[in-house]
Structure 1
Amino acid sequence: MERPLYINWIVDEEGITFEDGKPLKCYKLSYENDEKVFDDWALHIRKHYIEDDELIEDSTITGLSIEDYLRKYIIPQKQDKFGPTARSNDISEILFSDLFEFVLNYEVPRCKQYNRSGKNESEHGTDIIAYKFHNEEKTPTKEDELVAIEVKAKLSLKEICGVIQNAAADSTKDEYRVAHTLNYYRKKLRNMGKVEESRYIERFQQKAELPYKISYVGAAISSRPEIENKIIAGIKESDLQLKVNQSIYYVHGADLMNLAHQIYERCTK
């Protein structure tokens, strides 16, 4: 997947800590009203739901324009009963997928939003799977990494503590749930014609035979414009009871729900 232009707006905020002084992996979405970047972002999001060739074919079969087909069948709409929630969840999951792929250099399968049963319905299982091979030729080693990421979004609120606590609590997943997601992704990627990616996922289904490192991430996002004094007041890292292989990532920015609606209204081509 091509690197979207908006990635340049994701700024690593070093020095952000919890109340007890423990560091937090924190990023600010410092965006501008840039039509070109917004359009590119919207197209990037739309391609998670449906590819170009399939969109043209489906539009022709239904007799609808591409814009009408996308609004009716594919893209969550603001006026839909669960449309705003779907928009919030999806754009947040895609943002964290982009963060891990284009900033942190992991490989991230893009299949969760594709061809789902309803445009406002999310799939079950781990929100995001990211992985990294230690060897350039991608032969299995015990240094390979798998990251299971659970996303909690509050785009309409400035709240910090609650969304981070929820992300932390939900990010400790049993291996069965991760295993189920890997199996689902492997089969879905294969059905999408992404055979090579499907084989990469297969490697991480062989943990007993071919061990690797696994970690769990609670990914939180909310509409806090700034972090005052670089401290997440009201919460200590010790409150989260994080395990050794568990960490928290937090993204914030101003008025993110309104931003999400602006982007999604452009997902029509």
Structure 2
Amino acid sequence: MAAPPHIGWIKDTGERRQTACGQEIQIWELDPVDDQAVLSAWAAHFRHHYCADADLPALVDGTGKSKAEFLNTILFPDAKVAPGPSLRSGDFGEILVADFIEFILGYWCPRELRYQDRWNRQDSTKGCDIVGFKYANNQGESANDELYVFESKSGLSATKSNRLQDAVTDSMKDHLREAMTLNAMKQRLLVRGETAQVEAVQRFQNEAERPFRRINGAAAVLDINVFATTKLEETDATGHKNAANLRLLVIKGPSLMQLVQALYERAANEA
């Protein structure tokens, strides 16, 4: 998949901070501009996480709704009724971090399955937030193949919580959720007949017999006002089972909740 154009708006600030336990935090920035073509492409990319455009007419058929009404009332979390806004915020953060992992770090990140199989639009999907896969070479399996398991938290409005700490705390549970998440992903791919992708996931289900590198990550997507008041240096990953291979990421940006709502609105109206 070619990188969508909004990826060019995600840039490394070069700033690095240290946690209380000595882990490095990378600080990146999302800097959107008023480019209608890029925003439309981003909205379409966003919509495709919830349903393929090719499937949308059949999904809408029989509901008596327009495409926009169907997306806004059946698939997308509600814009106003709780917990819809916080789910929109969380989904946005997860998708943005998945974009980062796939298009900037170069992992295969089959994330649409997480949203397309969500039967309740007002409930989050369980399991590890984001999973990425990278193969060391094209000659077969290698012990240097990488499984990247990432937890993402959003802080797009005022909060007293350190959202990076929240992501780290959740990441500590991923060793318990990893096997179930990979199995759920594999099941969904089997239903879709994606044989090659099933085998790609399967490669990471038995570390004892088929060794690989496991990398864990924790990310916080923060509005710049939240970023300014968050004491990132107080983040503590002590006790993380994969502390030696833990990556910490913050992506900050201006007026992000306003951007989120605009993306959902455009994704519905331009379907």
Kindly provide the CA deviation profile for residues 90-149 of structure 1, in whole angstroms up to 9, marking residues without a partner as x.
Answer: 111000000000000011012100131111222111001011011124x21111000111
Contact residue 173 and residue 216 of structure 1 kept, 8 A: no
Please list every run of 5 or more consecutive structure 2 residues that lacks an aligned counterpart in the other structure. none
Report the AA paired with residue 123 of structure 2.
E
Contact residue 149 and residue 174 of structure 2 kept, 8 A: no
How many residues get paired? 264
Paired residue for 2:116? 114
In structure 1, the residue corresponding to 2:224 is in which secondary structure? coil
Map 1:41-56 to 2 at 5 A.
41-56=42-57
Deviation at 1:79, TM superposition (A): 2.2
Deviation at 1:53, TM superposition (A): 2.1
Please list every run of 5 or more consecutive structure 1 residues that lacks an aligned counterpart in the other structure. none
Contact residue 78 and residue 84 of structure 1 kept, 8 A: yes
Structure 2 residue 66 is the aligned partner of structure 1 residue 65: yes
Contact residue 129 and residue 148 of structure 1 kept, 8 A: yes
Kindly provide the CA deviation profile for residues 7-62 of structure 1, in whole angstroms up to 9, marking residues without a partner as x.
Answer: 00000121322377864222100111222111111110110111122211112232
Map 1:190-205 to 2 at 5 A.
190-205=190-205
Contact residue 125 and residue 181 of structure 1 kept, 8 A: yes
Which deviates more, 18-27 or 242-251? 18-27
Which deviates more, 145-154 or 59-68? 59-68
Report the AA paired with residue 212 of structure 1.
F
Map 1:141-156 to 2 at 5 A.
141-156=142-157
Structure 2 residue 7 is the aligned partner of structure 1 residue 7: yes
Distance (whole Å) between structure 1 residues aligned to residue 220 and residue 19 of structure 2: 17
Report the AA paired with residue 64 of structure 1.
K
Map 1:119-130 to 2 at 5 A.
119-130=121-132
CA RMSD of superposed structures (Å): 2.3
Map 1:109-258 to 2 at 5 A.
109-110=110-111, 111-137=113-139, 139-157=140-158, 162-224=162-224, 235-236=233-234, 239-241=236-238, 243-258=243-258
Report the AA paired with residue 142 of structure 1.
A
Sort the Cα spacing of 1:219 and 1:234 in 2 relative to 1 into closer, same or farther, 3 A: closer
Which deviates more, 4-13 or 15-24? 15-24
Sort the Cα spacing of 1:38 and 1:225 in 2 relative to 1 into closer, same or farther, 3 A: farther
Sort the Cα spacing of 1:253 and 1:198 in 2 relative to 1 into closer, same or farther, 3 A: same
Distance (whole Å) between structure 2 residues aligned to residue 16 and residue 248 of structure 1: 10
Report the AA paired with residue 72 of structure 1.
T
Paired residue for 2:25? 24
Distance (whole Å) between structure 1 residues aligned to residue 203 and residue 14 of structure 2: 34
Distance (whole Å) between structure 2 residues aligned to residue 136 and residue 122 of structure 1: 36
In structure 1, the residue corresponding to 2:87 is in which secondary structure? helix
Normalising to structure 1: TM-score of the pair?
A: 0.90
Deviation at 1:225, TM superposition (A): 5.7
Sort the Cα spacing of 1:226 and 1:124 in 2 relative to 1 into closer, same or farther, 3 A: closer
Paired residue for 1:80? 81
In structure 2, the residue corresponding to 1:244 is in which secondary structure? helix
Normalising to structure 2: TM-score of the pair?
A: 0.89
